[in-house]
Structure 1
Amino acid sequence: MSAHSPAATSTRLSDGRELIYFDDPGRPPRTTSPDARGLPGRAEPGEVRYDELSGDWIAVAAHRQSRTHLPPAEACPLCPSTSGNLSEIPAEDYDVVVFENRFPSLGPALAELPDSLPWGQSAPAAGRCEVVSFTSSHTGSFGGLPYGRARTVVEAWAHRTAALSALSGIRQVFPFENRGADIGVTLHHPHGQIYAYPYVTPRAAQLGARARRFYDESGGRATLLGALLDRERTAGERMVLDGTHFSAYVPFAARWPLEVHLVPHRHAADFADLTGEEKDELAEVYLRLLQAVDALYDTPTPYIAAWHQAPLDTVLRPAARFHLQLTSPRRAPDKLKFLAGSEAAMGAFITDTRPEQVAGRLRSALAGIPAAAAEPSTGRKARA
């Protein structure tokens, strides 16, 4: 059993938002400091509207137009607070921190959404949006974290998945990271986000319906993603890495110029469903995978790391398997794929690369990357 147990310490910011410190194992007990900014109380949530044409929910969050956009390092809201920069984190230093987003797309209200709404009516955008800062260092990336720090982030994802899943009205919990200006990030500091939706998102509903159909046809004995993983491992040509608990491959019908799926060998619903040993390996293989992606070009690769977790839906959840979908629009050193007519309007993807060749390049990159040092970062030398 894994012994990696970071300490979680909860506090409140001056406007009432929750902030949680996750300290690497071996750190002394944390003493929290008050948020000295004296922020005004939180605004009312935005709204959600129901699109009768598609059956999708649309969040209207016009207040996000005023959110912080690519500030200089000395004004970064994710760096530890100083006398000259009272940031979102009222501490001199930290390992990993999670806090409620000051400019949320959803929340802070919690409520049960109806199945639909009549045309012309809206409802409060219930839910919760959190920011996950991977390190106190302003520079770097997740792929550059030491193993112990990455393992602490995995534990934070599991902690927040369990906590958010228990909130009233939440139907899906989605951790993700947008990395790089080409993806549209608004902060350079290494970080990700977690959205707790009051509805099952369109993509999760689509994948979930197909997974449930396969599950039912197998008599509840097999899952669709598990079967696809078995096929990819047998074929081999699109495999990127094969571990004890997780394997990664470029899918046969990849949509993006660079797309990798990291899938557990065991059927697991979400981060909170993983064992300690699985979390240990996940931190290690995820680090190596990100390093391989960055080794493909001379400059850092923009990507979206999307952690697909089973929806909190009694029909879809039994058949939905936890996995990572890592994608990048980068199709060449100096070229990006933009979603234009066919993809954006019709959802009909046309890929610019052959999945087999992408997998081969990633395998070659991985060959030069050593396994991450599986030891907790218990001293300041291990900081990212």
Structure 2
Amino acid sequence: MVLHLHRHRKADGRELLLYGRAAHEGAAGAELPPADGVPPHLRWHPLRQEWVGYAGARQARTFLPEESDCPLCPARDGATGEIPFTDFEVAVFENRFPAFAEAGDAPGIAGVRSAAARGRCEVVVFSADHRGSLATLPDERIDLLIEVWGARIMALREMGFAAVMPFENRGEEIGVTLHHPHGQIYAFGFVPGQIARAAEAQAAAPVIARMIEEADPALFLHRGARAVSLVPPFAMYPFEVWLAPRRRVPGPQHLDVEERGELAAALGDALRRLDRLFGMPMPYILTVQAAPAGHDASFHMTIEIKPFRRDRAKLKYLAGVEQGSGVFLVDVPPEEAAARLRAVDGAR
């Protein structure tokens, strides 16, 4: 399958990329005016031994607009958004309110180590349809999205960034500010602590391959020839689901056509099961875990879905123990979660 790319430079200098299975056609329309903002920066947390980002401009980002004012919808009469074209398949553009930037200075902050927040933040719009979701997309569009994730990881790594993470925040319950189906990609000038720890663990042992081979078969939602989905036996969230190719690859850019297709179908299946579990859209965080710089030879990519609902009327909150100590308490054991998800129909 061919991946077509149409490049567009927005009026304020940000890059917009339109990906699709068909070549994009059509001229650009009106553009949004430039946004004002203070460059983001980092401060070192001496107890956690990791960076904390500060990006005050994000306070001004668009908050739960009406569909008629959605900035992620295609261009239409009387409205100007981020994508000045009348249609698209998958769109990627530099975030108007970034938490990291390719240029900037380290401010002098008394009593704390600081640094420029070097990186790049991109928005990934999954579809032109405002009312859809990743779960309702056809497998072919999810396949395209996975290929786009891989293309962006490869491009951003080639730009010199140390780690790249595509992700999706879904649901107002976890702070989503735009309802249009979309995700983001963050590229970091350093390797964040959680990604570094996962990379070091995998350098020491084939953790993901062992999980795929040794986990209880009852934990699997999909157990295919090229890809799997399962509730990990060490899940930190109720109904947590991981997906992975059977073959160890460091990121989606290294999947072959068959692996990507099976992974796309398994991802759609898992998301539909989560939505149907309680008869309502499941709020979740989805992350694509790919190798940071220096770990391509040992890292095994995963797609991890962390739901934020533990029952129909009960959200999973990170309360005192989790936030104060880092020790998670899980209300629904992985074995029970898997059994309940397996009992739900994940078919389209």
Q: Distance in 2 between matches of 1:208 and 1:129?
A: 22
- In the alignment, the residues of structure 2 paired with residue 207 and residue 21 of structure 1 have an alpha-carbon distance, to the nearest angstrom, of 32
**Are residues 287 and 110 of structure 1, via their aligned partners in 2, closer, same or farther at CA, if it must alter by over 3 Å?**
farther
Q: Does 1:17 align with 2:14?
A: yes
Looking at structure 2, the residues matched to 196 and 172 of structure 1 have their Cα atoms a distance apart, in angstroms, of 6
- 1:41: how far off? 6.9
Q: 1:166-181, aligned counterparts within 5 Å?
A: 166-168=158-160, 170-181=161-172
Q: CA deviation at 1:119?
A: 4.7
The match for 2:132 among 132, 137, 140 is: 140
> What residue in structure 2 maps to residue 369 of structure 1?
346
1:230 aligns with 2:207: no
Q: Secondary structure at the match of 1:331?
A: strand
Is 1:203 equivalent to 2:194 in the alignment? yes
Instruction: Report how far residue 28 of structure 1 moved.
Output: 5.0
* Counterpart check, 1:33 vs 2:28: yes
Shift of 1:161: 1.0
Identity rate of aligned residues, in percent?
Answer: 36
Name the aligned partner's letter for residue 12 of structure 2. D
Partner of residue 101, structure 1? 95
RMSD (Å) for aligned C-alpha atoms: 1.9
Distance 1:251 1:149 in 2: 26
Distance 1:122 1:349, change over 3 A: same
Query: By how many angstroms is 1:237 displaced?
Result: 2.2
Hey, which bits of structure 1, 4+ residues long, moved more than 6 A?
Answer: none
Return the letter of the residue paired with 2:210: A
Post-superposition Cα deviations, 1:116-153, rounded to whole Å, max 9, x if no partner, equal x9953422211100000011111121110122222221
| Residue type at the aligned position of 1:283 | A
- Matching of residues 1-384 of structure 1 within 5 Å: 4-23=1-20, 25=21, 27-37=22-32, 39-40=33-34, 43=37, 45-109=39-103, 119-168=111-160, 170-214=161-205, 223-232=206-215, 235-312=216-293, 314=294, 316-365=295-344, 368-370=345-347
CA distance in 1, matches of 2:29, 2:281: 37
CA contact (8 A) 2:35 2:96 kept: no
Listed one character per residue, the Cα deviations across residues 82-129 of structure 1 (whole Å, up to 9, x for unaligned) are 232100000111111000000011114289x9xxx9953422211100
Is this contact kept in 1: 2:167–2:288, CA < 8 A?
Answer: yes
Give distance in 2, aligned partners of 1:209 and 1:352: 29
Tell me if the contact between 2:226 and 2:245 (Cα under 8 Å) persists in the aligned partners. yes
User: TM-score, normalised on structure 2?
Assistant: 0.94
- Asked whether the equivalents of residues 71 and 82 of structure 2 are also in contact (C-alpha less than 8 Å), the reply is yes
Quote the Cα distance in structure 1 between the aligned partners of 2:321 and 2:59.
Answer: 29
In structure 2, the residue corresponding to 1:182 is in which secondary structure? helix
For the 8 Å contact 1:13–1:35, the answer to whether it is kept is: no
Letter in 2 for 1:18: E
In structure 1, C-alpha distance between the alignment counterparts of 2:247 and 2:260, rounded to whole Å? 12
- Contact 2:92 / 2:124 at 8 angstroms: preserved in 1? yes
How far apart in 2 are the matches of 1:150 and 1:140?
13
Segments of structure 2 that go 5 or more residues without pairing to the other structure are none
Q: 1:164-211: per-residue Cα shift (whole Å, max 9, x none)?
A: 11113x111000111111111010000000000111112112222222
Measure the CA separation in 2 of the matches of 1:174 and 1:29: 26
Give distance in 2, aligned partners of 1:204 and 1:254: 17
Q: TM-score scaled by structure 1?
A: 0.86
Q: 1:194 aligns to what SS in structure 2?
A: strand
Aligned residues: 346
Distance in 1, matches of 2:9 and 2:342, equals 45
Letter in 1 for 2:157: S
| Distance in 2 separating the partners of 1:335 and 1:7 | 43
